[in-house]
Amino acid sequence: MTESGPTGFGGTTLAIETSCDDTCAAVVRGRRILSNVISSQRAHERFGGVVPEVASRKHLELAGPVVDAALAEAELTIDEIDRVAVTAGPGLIGALLVGLSTAKGLASRRELPLLPTDHLQGHVAANFLEPEPLDPPFICLVASGGHTLLAGVTDHSGFEVLGETLDDAAGEAIDKGARMLGLGFPGGPALQKLAEDGDPDAFDFPVGMSNGPGLDFSFSGLKTALVYKCRDLGEEGVESNRADLAAAYQAAVVAQLVDRLERALAVGQWEAVALGGGVAANGPLRAAVADLCERQGLRLKLVPMALCTDNAAMIAAASNWSEPLPWPEYLTFDAFATGERA
């Protein structure tokens, strides 16, 4: 059985993903999604951000029901599962360990192969799934509350990091901006809605590192600029300019993402562009990237939202092109947190 050929593993994979605040399980057969269950933890809204301990507690409650739901929706029983894939990192270590322990217990009891999978490879591999799968080579811009990177994808089993954020993630910058403008968490949808009534040119926010030649991102300067702008305007000034501030701030985030993407396209031979991560839901970003692709004659692949945000189908997809760990080799396998792996 070849696992890493061009078509990947064609059997049935049960996948579990718990790296942040979504408890996810999916069943995928080859490139076809049989189920993709995402239980978003609303518990974090009142904290204004993801609280790792709260996330881990929720994962423990939801992991079993989510796996049951994924099997039920796929109309399969556990007997029909060929292997188990699970996010091994990067992410919140306590959260990852809930998913990994669940997966190890589940796989080991049946002596099924286990596929510990990289979360970011998952975001890239979401594009390999039906309908209309996108195969390498392509550039994937992954932007969410936890990560911002440009992935150069030349084969199914890995990617090259062309650029990544040096400080905040794009989604984090959006959430922080939204909070400063009095919006709830997560801030993306609310900021976008508020921005619809605003003028993106009303304020001038810096597009991070726009003069350097690199492909890395930086959002901390933008965030600071908003802090100063709000201070200068005063409480009443902010209140009467909220929509314009939202529009200009969002535009600066989008401009930086699109700028780096455009630079990356200029230095390589790419035929297609894909978007992943929660920020891929952002309307102005989608529009700007679509415009860029049209100008350059590139194929643009936009997966459905359920495959952009964290999900387990993408983990199964990534695992289709990696070598499984046979039982009992994986029994001692451990997770790795963000920043832990060399």
Partner 1 sequence: MRIIGFDTATDDTVVAALDGDRVAFEFRGSAGDGQRPTHSADLVPAIEEAAAALGGWGEVDRLAVGVGPGTFTGLRIGIATAQGIRLSSPVDIVPVCTLVALALSLDAPADAVRVPVLDARRGEVFLAAYDGSGRELFEPSVGGPADLFGRVASAFSDPFAAGPGALRFRSDLEQAGLDTPGPQPESHRLSGSAICRAARTLPVAPTKEPIEPIYLRAPDAERWIDRRPGAGS
Query: Does residue 172 touch Zn ion according to CB under 5 A?
Result: no
Q: How far is the CB of 18 from partner 1 (least distance, A)?
A: 9
> Which residue has the CB atom at the shortest distance from Zn ion?
310
Query: Does residue 168 touch Zn ion according to CB under 5 A?
Result: no
Of 18 and 165, nearer to partner 1 (C-beta) is 18
Q: How far is the CB of 147 from Zn ion (least distance, A)?
A: 6
Q: How far is the CB of 230 from partner 1 (least distance, A)?
A: 22
Q: Which does 108 bind (CB under 5 to 8 A by kind): Zn ion, partner 1, none?
A: partner 1
Query: Does residue 310 touch Zn ion according to CB under 5 A?
Result: yes
Of 112 and 275, nearer to partner 1 (C-beta) is 112
- Confirm if 128 and 31 have CB atoms less than 8 A apart: yes
Longest CA pairwise span in the chain (Å): 67
Q: How far is the CB of 76 from partner 1 (least distance, A)?
A: 13
Q: Which residue ranges make up the site for partner 1 (CB under 8 A)?
A: 46-47, 51, 53-54, 56-57, 59-65, 67-68, 78, 93-94, 97-110, 328, 331-335
Q: How far is the CB of 276 from Zn ion (least distance, A)?
A: 8
Q: How far is the CB of 86 from partner 1 (least distance, A)?
A: 10
Q: Which does 310 bind (CB under 5 to 8 A by kind): partner 1, Zn ion, none?
A: Zn ion
Q: Which does 269 bind (CB under 5 to 8 A by kind): Zn ion, partner 1, none?
A: none
Total of residues contacting Zn ion (CB under 5 A): 2
State the residues that interact with Zn ion by CB under 5 A: 144, 310
